[in-house]
Structure 1
Amino acid sequence: MKFEYYNDTGRDISIHAATESSGITCDMSIIKPLETRTFIIPTDTYPWVKMWDHGELLGLCILVYAKKDEVN
């Protein structure tokens, strides 16, 4: 499955290293303003997304994590 993120923040966004370690494939370079980034999500998972703002020094960071449905 593909998940696309469009950067409309006007700021550069770094991608958290845990994005790749969760099994997602993507270009890990900085997402520039007005750029779209495609994340390839593993089969039988869905994207869980979190973004942090570390202020002017470190900027924005996004984590796209591959989650599985938990059956209770």
Structure 2
Amino acid sequence: MKFVFLNDTGRIVYPHPACFTHGCLGSESPIQHLEERTFILPEGSYPSVKLWDYGEEKGLQILISPCIEED
């Protein structure tokens, strides 16, 4: 599954390293303002997204975790 994140925050967003240990594929570089970033999730999963604000010095950080729906 593709998940596209559009950074419209006006700030740089840093992907959390756990995005990639949890199974997402994509670039680990910072996401600039108005940049779209595509993350590839494992087949049959959906994204759980969390965005943290660490203030102006450390910026914003996004975590995208693939989740599988359990019946």
User: TM-score, normalization: structure 2?
Assistant: 0.96
Partner SS, residue 63 of structure 1: strand
Residue ranges of structure 2 left out of the alignment (5+ in a row): none
Residue ranges of structure 1 left out of the alignment (5+ in a row): none
Separation in 1, partners of 2:64, 2:3? 9
Separation in 2, partners of 1:8, 1:57? 18
Corresponding residue of 1:13: 13
User: Which letter maps to 1:21?
Assistant: T
Kindly report structure 1 stretches of 4+ aligned residues shifted beyond 4 Å: none
Task: Give matches, 1:44-55, under 5 Å.
Answer: 44-55=44-55
Asked if residue 68 in structure 1 is aligned to residue 65 in structure 2, the reply is no
User: Which letter maps to 1:50?
Assistant: K
Separation in 1, partners of 2:28, 2:42? 17
User: TM-score, normalization: structure 1?
Assistant: 0.94
Residue 56 of structure 1: how far off its partner (Å)? 1.3
Residue 69 of structure 1: how far off its partner (Å)? 1.0
Corresponding residue of 2:35: 35
Separation in 1, partners of 2:10, 2:56? 13
Separation in 2, partners of 1:18, 1:70? 22
Root mean square deviation, CA, Å: 0.7
Corresponding residue of 1:57: 57
